[in-house]
Amino acid sequence: MKPKLFSELGLSAEMLKAIAKLGFEQASPIQAEAIPVLMAGHDAVGQSQTGSGKTAAFGIPAVEKVDATDRAVQVLILCPTRELAVQVSEEMHKLAFFKRGLHVLPIYGGQSYERQFLGLKQGAQIVIGTPGRVMDHMRRGTLRLDKIRMAILDEADVMLNMGFRDDIEVILQAAPVARQTVFFSATMPRPIRELIEKYAREPRTVRIEQKALTVPTVEQVYYEVDRRYKIELLTRLIDLHDLKLGIVFCNTKRMVDDLVDHLNAQGYSADRLHGDMSQAMRDRVMQKFRKSGLEFLVATDVAARGIDVDDVEVVFNYDLPYDGEDYVHRIGRTGRKGREGRAISFASGREVFQIRNIERFTNVRIQRGKAPTAGEVLEAKANALMEKLRQTLKAGEYKRQDHLIERLLEEGHGSTDIASALLHHLQTGEPLTPGAKPSREDRPSPAASSPDYLSGTPAKGERWDRPEGSERPWDRVRERARPPQPRTREYEDRGPSPEKFTRPAPRPAPIAEASRVPPAPSAVAPRVEPEAPREPKNAIPTPPAEAPSPSPKASRRTPAQQIRLWMNLGETEGVVATDVMNAVAGTTGLPMKVVGAVDIRDHHLFVDVASEHANAIIAKLNRTQIKGRKVKVKVA
């Protein structure tokens, strides 16, 4: 398609001036196709990947069509998350900069009601909001939709996946029938098509023809790695490619918190973004990330919707997304506006089949990478250090230390020895000032001669145990979380005896030695039975009588204030209790406390929920997915 200039699209002088102020001259493909259709007043369906400029594609016609003299809401833009609503609002403010009398107002949960009431009362013509808060204002009577000229659904597929379909239908039904309806989405699943058929009038389809749904400038690669070594591989890849700004996606809020702690402990600058954080905290983190005050943002899918930072170098799928649509949205955070980017995914065990599903969905081959060795990381860091030294020497922007060097030379040290000693401090991370905390660049690199758990296997008879004192922080966390091992009958009766206790065979995993040591003798009291005569020391022990088969587990009683629900997923699909709790909280917006006990069986599960919210939970969950499977819920 031939590139088009914005001046060729029939826009007003004020809009062309605003676009020039933003530094744009040539329209992107989705903008060149969508703007003329929307300016002509047609309903439209736009499909293009994240980061293609679709906000301006619907934002420019929206601003152009608003009557600035009419202080009523004329354009409504629905977004799935607060972050995306804020991003769209900022873009709309820039586009409306030179149009006098036009007011843009974002409304979303977590923000002061008073500010939103005041903005609506003063006559905002363009409202950008999340479905929940828009519905709230409609119920309060503070938001009227009777003069809506254009209704826009941004990231429509995400809103439906989050369970907002009923809210969207209520909002669209409240708007005038003669309105202009616009759908923008990266993917077009069946629920989106049904919504378009119901509420759009002879819509024009604007689709950017491409062989893949993902951004072509993004290099995509995956590494097959055991779950225990993901953090080690992550840090190696960061050091190998000298990455400075990236997003790491995890599937759970707990994993986000743990990973941020590990990265910060190793000298990286990282912070978290997930649903348990207040809006003020999320805004502070995002502001810091946009200004490159953070190296890595670790986030969940829902919290990261709408992240728009142009210079993101890499997206890590630390946990693989549950479906291809989430993968498209994730890697769309990098490679924006023609820039190059990387998308690196970690797969363990059977997750490799999930990679194949993503490839089929995106129609893109994801290359398999080989985990870098510790020696390769050392060499990469040495090369990066050498390049920095070359640039510093060429620029001459350094403070001369001739007097210190002369003192060392007078003491008999050679110039090459002095330089080598300084480089040694830089490479090993030993701070030159006593008590100073080494930064990321000063962290000690992994020794090339140390055991490599990522790219090798132990020799015959070799143990994988790490030397004393070299365990990693997450090893200690894992050991504390390890459930206690069952004690044998002999161990219970006679207490821990070194000659009787047999260690398990060594496994190829870096597990701290302390985890295999039995408790101290004082921790377990020996069982005393004075009535029974003591057997001779060398007597052959009598085998214990066969234990009766365990009786079936008694049915659990549901608490009075809760109701028991049945769900069509179980252990066979890999579902755990956390998945169920996250699904309820993510789709309904209710706190975790509304979920009670979760009883998971082979092919189904039972979950107790608060009785007052049961109908809402059933309705929302029946429109969502867990582990890529469609959820069916009913009262048990």
More confident residue, 302 or 588: 588
Q: Quick one: 181 and 305 in the same domain?
A: no
pLDDT at 103 over 90: yes
**pLDDT mean over 489-507:** 42
What the block records as the tokens of 129 is: 């909001």
Q: What is the pLDDT of residue 2?
A: 59
Asked if the structure places residue 348 within a domain, the reply is: yes
Task: Please state, in angstroms and as integers, the Cα–Cα distance from residue 420 to each residue in 221, 386, 426, 427, following that order.
Answer: 37, 12, 10, 10
Highest mean pLDDT among 444-453, 554-563, 585-594: 585-594
What the block records as the tokens of 221 is: 């690669």
d(CA 254, CA 578): 10
Residue 535 CB neighbour total at 10 angstroms: 10
Task: Please state, in angstroms and as integers, the Cα–Cα distance from residue 375 to each residue in 381, 385, 387, 442, 482, following that order.
Answer: 10, 15, 18, 17, 32
Q: Quick one: 129 and 263 in the same domain?
A: no
pLDDT at 304 over 70: no
Q: What is the pLDDT of residue 534?
A: 52
Q: Quick one: 173 and 244 in the same domain?
A: no
DSSP state of 63: H
- Domain final position from 181, 207, 233: 207
Q: What is the pLDDT of residue 429?
A: 52
Q: What is the pLDDT of residue 406?
A: 80
More confident residue, 49 or 95: 95
Q: Quick one: 183 and 287 in the same domain?
A: no
Q: Quick one: 57 and 148 in the same domain?
A: yes
pLDDT at 112 over 60: yes
Q: 3-class SS at 142? A: coil
Give the CB-side neighbour count of residue 450, counting CA atoms within 13 A.
18
d(CA 191, CA 197): 10
Asked if the structure places residue 479 within a domain, the reply is: no
Count the residues in the chain: 636
Amino acid code (one letter) for 304: A
Asked if the structure places residue 497 within a domain, the reply is: no
Q: Quick one: 225 and 306 in the same domain?
A: yes
Q: What is the pLDDT of residue 495?
A: 41
pTM as predicted? 0.47
pLDDT in tens, 588-619: 777 778 888 899 998 899 999 998 888 888 98
pLDDT in tens, 132-172: 999 999 999 999 999 999 999 998 888 888 888 999 999 99
Using CA atoms in the order 577, 582, 588, 594, what is the torsion angle rounded to 10 degrees? 50
Q: What is the pLDDT of residue 199?
A: 92
- Domain final position from 359, 374, 389: 374
What the block records as the tokens of 560 is: 């009075």
d(CA 167, CA 40): 28
Q: Which residue range(s) make up the domain with 158?
A: 4-207
Q: What is the pLDDT of residue 494?
A: 40
Q: Quick one: 175 and 242 in the same domain?
A: no
Largest CA distance in the chain: 104
pLDDT in tens, 361-411: 888 889 999 888 888 877 777 777 777 778 777 887 777 777 888 888 878
Measured over the CA atoms of residue 22, residue 25, residue 30 and residue 35, the dihedral's sign is positive
Q: What is the pLDDT of residue 417?
A: 80
Residue 53 CB neighbour total at 10 angstroms: 19
The pairing of beta strand 562-567 with beta strand 633-635: antiparallel
Q: What is the CATH number of the domain that holds 11?
A: 3.40.50.300
Q: Of the ranges 278-282, 456-460, 562-566, which one carries the lowest mean pLDDT score?
A: 456-460
pLDDT band at 554 (very low <50, low <70, confident <90, very high): very low
**pLDDT mean over 427-437:** 51
- Order of strands, sheet of 270-273, starting from the edge strand that comes earlier in the sequence: 270-273, 296-299, 246-249, 314-317, 341-347, 218-224, 367-368
Domain count, the chain: 3
386 Cβ contact list (under 8 Å, min separation 6) = none
pLDDT at 456 over 50: yes
**pLDDT mean over 266-282:** 85
pLDDT at 343 over 90: yes
pLDDT in tens, 42-58: 999 988 765 567 888 99
pLDDT band at 414 (very low <50, low <70, confident <90, very high): confident
Q: Which residue has the tokens 């309903």?
A: 43
**pLDDT mean over 198-227:** 80
Q: Average pLDDT of the chain?
A: 77
Residue 209 CB neighbour total at 10 angstroms: 6
d(CA 12, CA 350): 55
Asked if the structure places residue 123 within a domain, the reply is: yes
Q: Quick one: 166 and 248 in the same domain?
A: no
Asked if the structure places residue 544 within a domain, the reply is: no
For residues 122 and 343, the answer to whether their CB atoms sit within 8 Å is no
Q: Residue 154 pairs with which residues in a beta bridge? A: 184
Asked if the structure places residue 350 within a domain, the reply is: yes
